[in-house]
Structure 1
Amino acid sequence: MPLLPGAEPLRHDGGEVGVLLCHGFTGCPQSMRPWAEYLAERGLTVSLPLLPGHGTRWQDLAVTAWQDWYAAVETELRLLRGRCERVFVCGLSMGGALALRLAARHGDAVDGAVVVNPAVTLPRTQGYLLPFLRHLVPTAPGIASDIAREGVVEVGYDRVPLHSAHSLWDLFRVVRGELHRVTQPLLVLHSRVDHVVPPSDSALVLERVSSRDVTETVLERSYHVATLDHDAERIFADSYGFITRLTARKTARDGA
Structure 2
Amino acid sequence: MATAQSFRSGGHGSLARVGVAVSHGFTGSPVSMRPWSEFLADAGFAVNMPLLAGHGTTWQDLSRTPWEHWYRDFEAAYLELSSRCDTVFVAGLSMGGALALRVAAKHAVAGIALVNPGLTFSDRRARYSGLLKHVLKSVSAIGDDIKAPGITEGAYSRTPVAAVHELSKLFTDTIPLLPRVTAPALVFRSTVDHVVPESSMDALRAGLGSQEFTVVSLSNSYHVATLDNDAQQIFSQSSDFFRRHAGAI
Task: Provide the TM-score with structure 1 as the length reference.
Answer: 0.93
Q: Give the Cα separation in 1 of the matches to 2:47 and 2:244.
A: 18
Give the aligned partner of residue 172 of structure 2.
173
5 Å matches for 1:183-222? 183-222=182-221
Q: Give the Cα separation in 2 of the matches to 1:243 and 1:54.
A: 28
**What letter is aligned with 1:190?**
R
Q: Give the Cα separation in 2 of the matches to 1:124 and 1:147.
A: 19
Q: Give the Cα separation in 2 of the matches to 1:29 and 1:37.
A: 11
Deviation sequence 1:96-139 (CA, Å, 0-9, x none): 00000000111x2x110011000001247323321111000111
Q: Give the Cα separation in 1 of the matches to 2:35 and 2:122.
A: 30
Deviation at 1:199, TM superposition (A): 2.7
Give the aligned partner of residue 101 of structure 1.
102
- Range that drifts further, 56-65 or 203-212: 203-212
Give the aligned partner of residue 237 of structure 2.
238
Runs of 4+ in structure 1 off by over 4 angstroms are none
The question of whether the paired residues in 2 share the 8 Å contact of 1:192 and 1:199 is answered with no
Q: Give the Cα separation in 2 of the matches to 1:87 and 1:242.
A: 12
Question: What's the secondary structure of 2:83's corresponding residue?
Answer: helix
**What letter is aligned with 2:3?**
G
Q: Give the Cα separation in 1 of the matches to 2:179 and 2:64.
A: 31
Q: Give the Cα separation in 2 of the matches to 1:159 and 1:146.
A: 14
The question of whether the paired residues in 2 share the 8 Å contact of 1:113 and 1:184 is answered with yes
Deviation sequence 1:36-69 (CA, Å, 0-9, x none): 0000001110001000010011111111011000
Q: Give the Cα separation in 2 of the matches to 1:120 and 1:198.
A: 9
Task: Provide the TM-score with structure 2 as the length reference.
Answer: 0.96
Give the aligned partner of residue 31 of structure 1.
32
**What letter is aligned with 1:9?**
S
* 1:223 pairs with 2:222: yes
Which ranges of structure 1 fall in alignment gaps of 5 or more residues?
none
Q: What fraction of aligned residue pairs are identical, expressed as a percent?
A: 45
Give the aligned partner of residue 20 of structure 1.
21
Q: Give the Cα separation in 1 of the matches to 2:198 and 2:188.
A: 10
**What letter is aligned with 1:95?**
G
**What letter is aligned with 2:2?**
P
Pick the aligned partner of 1:9 from 3, 6, 10. 6
Which ranges of structure 2 fall in alignment gaps of 5 or more residues?
none
Note the aligned Cα RMSD (angstroms). 1.2
Give the aligned partner of residue 147 of structure 2.
148
Q: Give the Cα separation in 1 of the matches to 2:118 and 2:2.
A: 25
Deviation sequence 1:7-36 (CA, Å, 0-9, x none): 000000111000000000000000000000
